[in-house]
């Protein structure tokens, strides 16, 4: 008898993937130019030239043995030192190479962190809307998930609702800002309030409550909006970082975990991270990519295209009568469905060959996610269709 749970997970693709696969079918049937696929969060701009140049240089100058060997399980010491230095100089946060663990992207960072901190029946709080895989990762780590909806219209944290859910069983809360799918960035004021509430509850229950800061979109912000660095505000923080989006490298699988030196017993916490990485087989992240990111820390793909797409889509949809969250970051637009059933709205959109994702899987009903990490031309061509689509509801 094989694992029923895993078989189920393997057979049931995520809704996002289902829609993307439907798009592949339609592209074959009617041609790629006639399908307006806004389903995936796959960066549509190339990695910065310096990334390609660095990879080439590494391949040409480092000996293959040096380049392709296993690194330390937690990552190359020089790479971790460079990242620690980057964190200290960029965010002014206390850091330590021996509290950094190199990973295969944010998904691995999250899975490792959750397995490091969760004991059976512990609770992990998810702020809706959230990346759907959080539920899979947290439950596999043995946690029970509790969902707290962010408040409209700005999608900041609803503190009254959050306080009601925090209990002695609360082990952590996943904070994703800039957010997939809302595009909201949590303000400094929100982070300060969150830290105060978690500190109060930790003292009241005599527990440690962790913030797991899922930060693959940290650098994808527009109009000079600031993204507070959570370790500067809350001690028990573990940052789950990924280079997937900032450097347009999602297929290369590279990121890191940073355990804040200010966390309670940070050495033990880091040991648990190393233990979880070992137990999950997430050791020695890809060496070529480790050496590459070391050379390009702080570099970002040219996100001006996303900014252009954001303005184009947000302004047009609002003009047509849609209600949307104005995104300050990431590359998603979260739009209120004109009918209560967002899945039904997405089905209707398919009639215009527009592929968008219902918010239900993100824990937020009545909204849809539109990924604007696509070609600007496709957005321009789709606008008339979006207009006709909402006119059906008049």
- Residues lying near ligand PLP in the complex (CB under 6 A): 41, 105-107, 131, 176, 180, 214, 216, 242, 244, 250, 255
CB of 107 to ligand PLP, least distance (A): 3
- Long-range (24+ apart) CB contacts under 8 A made by 149-158 are 149/363, 149/364, 150/182, 150/184, 152/325, 153/325, 154/184, 154/325, 155/129, 155/179, 155/182, 155/184, 155/325, 155/334, 156/184, 156/186, 156/187, 156/190, 157/127, 157/186, 157/190, 157/193, 157/194
CB of 80 to ligand PLP, least distance (A): 18
For the chain, what is the HEC assignment? CCCHHHHHHHHCCCHHHHHHHHHHHHHHHHCHHHCEECCCCCCCCCCCHHHHHHHHHHHHHCCHHHHHCCCCCCCCHHHHHHHHHHHHHHHCCCCCHHHEEEECHHHHHHHHHHHHHCCCCCEEEEEECCCCHHHHHHHHCCCEEEEEECECCCCECCHHHHHHHCCCCEEEEEECCCCCCCCCCCCHHHHHHHHHHHHHHHHHHCCCCEEEEECCCCCCECCCCCCCCHHHCCCCEEEEEECCCCCCCHHHCCEEEEECCCCCCHHHHHHHHHHHHHHHCCCCCCHHHHHHHHHCCCCCCCCHHHHHHHHHHHHHHHHHCCCECCCCECCEEEEECCCCCHHHHHHHHHCCCEECEEHHHHCCCCEEEEECCCCHHHHHHHHHHHHHHHHCCC
CB of 385 to ligand PLP, least distance (A): 25
Nearer residue to ligand PLP within complex by CB, 45 or 390? 45
CB of 108 to ligand PLP, least distance (A): 7
Neighbours of 279 (CB within 10 A): 12
Nearer residue to ligand PLP within complex by CB, 39 or 337? 39
- Could you tell me if 247 and 295 are in contact, meaning their C-beta atoms sit under 8 angstroms apart? no
Nearer residue to ligand PLP within complex by CB, 110 or 117? 110
Nearer residue to ligand PLP within complex by CB, 127 or 335? 127
Nearer residue to ligand PLP within complex by CB, 106 or 266? 106
Nearer residue to ligand PLP within complex by CB, 80 or 245? 245
CB of 245 to ligand PLP, least distance (A): 7
CB of 141 to ligand PLP, least distance (A): 15
Nearer residue to ligand PLP within complex by CB, 242 or 382? 242
CB of 340 to ligand PLP, least distance (A): 26
CB of 332 to ligand PLP, least distance (A): 9
CB of 255 to ligand PLP, least distance (A): 5
Q: Which residue is nearest to ligand PLP (CB)?
A: 105
CB of 114 to ligand PLP, least distance (A): 12
Nearer residue to ligand PLP within complex by CB, 97 or 216? 216
Nearer residue to ligand PLP within complex by CB, 122 or 214? 214
């Amino acid at each position: 008898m094989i694992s029923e749970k895993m078989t189920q997970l393997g057979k049931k693709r995520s809704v996002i993937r289902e829609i993307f696969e439907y798009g592949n079918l339609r592209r074959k049937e009617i041609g790629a130019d006639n399908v307006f696929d806004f389903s995936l969060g796959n960066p549509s701009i190339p990695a910065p030239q310096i990334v390609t140049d660095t990879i080439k240089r590494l391949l040409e100058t480092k000996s293959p043995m040096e380049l392709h060997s296993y690194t330390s399980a937690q990552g190359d010491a020089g790479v971790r030192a460079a990242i620690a230095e980057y964190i200290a100089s960029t965010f002014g946060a206390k850091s330590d190479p021996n509290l950094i663990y190199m990973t295969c992207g944010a998904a691995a960072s999250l899975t490792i962190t959750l397995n490091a901190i969760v004991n059976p029946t512990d609770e992990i709080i998810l702020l809706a809307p959230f990346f759907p895989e959080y539920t899979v990762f947290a439950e596999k780590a043995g946690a029970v998930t509790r969902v707290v909806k962010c408040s409209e219209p700005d999608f900041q944290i609803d503190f009254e609702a959050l306080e009601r859910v925090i209990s002695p069983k609360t082990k952590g809360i996943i904070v994703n800002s800039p957010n997939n799918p809302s595009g909201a960035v949590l303000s400094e004021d929100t982070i300060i309030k969150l830290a105060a509430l978690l500190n109060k509850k930790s003292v009241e229950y005599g527990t440690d409550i962790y913030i797991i800061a899922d930060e693959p979109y940290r650098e994808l912000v527009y109009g000079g909006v600031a993204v507070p660095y959570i370790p500067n505000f809350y001690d028990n923080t573990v940052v789950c970082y990924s280079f997937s989006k900032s450097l347009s490298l999602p297929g290369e699988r590279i990121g890191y975990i940073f355990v804040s030196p200010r966390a309670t017993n940070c050495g033990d916490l880091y040991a648990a991270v190393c233990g979880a990485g070992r137990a999950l087989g997430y050791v020695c992240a890809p060496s070529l990519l480790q050496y590459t990111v070391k050379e390009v820390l702080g570099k970002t793909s040219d996100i001006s295209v996303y900014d252009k797409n954001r303005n184009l889509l947000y302004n047009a949809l609002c003009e047509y009568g849609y209600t949307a969250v104005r995104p300050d970051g990431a590359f998603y637009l979260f739009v209120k469905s004109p009918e209560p059933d967002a899945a039904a709205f997405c089905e209707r959109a398919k009639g215009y060959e527009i592929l968008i994702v219902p918010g239900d899987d993100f824990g937020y009903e009545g909204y849809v996610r539109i990924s604007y990490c696509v070609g600007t031309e496709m957005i321009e061509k789709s606008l008339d269709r979006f207009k006709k689509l909402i006119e059906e509801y008049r």
